[in-house]
Amino acid sequence: MYPGLTGKLEMAVREEDLTGRLGDVKINVLSTPRLIQLLEAATIEAIKGFLSPDQISLGTRVKILHLAPTPLGMRVTAHAVLKEVDGRRLLFEIDAYDEIEKIAEGEHERIIVSGEWLLQRIDKKKRERGLEIP
């Protein structure tokens, strides 16, 4: 894995992506949580094929500016560029555009971990809470 890897994803804004799903919002546009999800997916796309089968990446930090509203039905394109690799830590520059303008920019940090390690942490937490472990 090396700086310069890129990921790109597109979506059309649907009803379930709108701010109205978050509560009493009078004007429905693409919600920030859904925008962050698309941006995060673009970072995962950038490193797809570079992780070993026993590794996964986890998002640890998101810093974005949501710059402009995007209405229902409009297409959004998210871009991610891997800017820095520091051991297990990956830092991405991210941005998104709708069909008219830039709607977001920022950074996203991910770490690479063992899938087995993560499952062990989850199982430990479930045991401590008395939840079923399938």
- Overall pTM > 0.85: yes
Residue 134 resides in a domain: no
User: Is residue 30 within 8 Å of residue 101, measured between CB atoms?
Assistant: no
Which of 64, 60, 65, 112 has the alpha carbon at shortest distance from 86?
Answer: 112
For residue 134, the model assigns a pLDDT of 66
For residue 94, the model assigns a pLDDT of 98
Residue 57 resides in a domain: yes
User: Is residue 45 within 8 Å of residue 9, measured between CB atoms?
Assistant: yes
For residue 25, the model assigns a pLDDT of 74
CA atoms within 13 A on the CB side of 99: 8
Q: How many domains are contained in the chain?
A: 1
CA–CA gap between residue 131 and residue 2 (Å, rounded): 40
Residue 89 resides in a domain: yes
For residue 121, the model assigns a pLDDT of 84
For residue 32, the model assigns a pLDDT of 93
Give the CA distances from residue 9 to residues 41, 45, 118, in Å, rounded to whole numbers and listed in that order. 7, 8, 26
Residue 58 resides in a domain: yes
For residue 26, the model assigns a pLDDT of 75
CATH number at residue 44: 3.10.129.10
Residue 1 resides in a domain: no
Dig out the tokens for 21 from the structure: 């799903």
Q: Which residues of the chain have pLDDT under 70?
A: 24, 133-134
Residue 60 resides in a domain: yes
Which residue segment(s) compose the domain that 43 sits in? 6-129
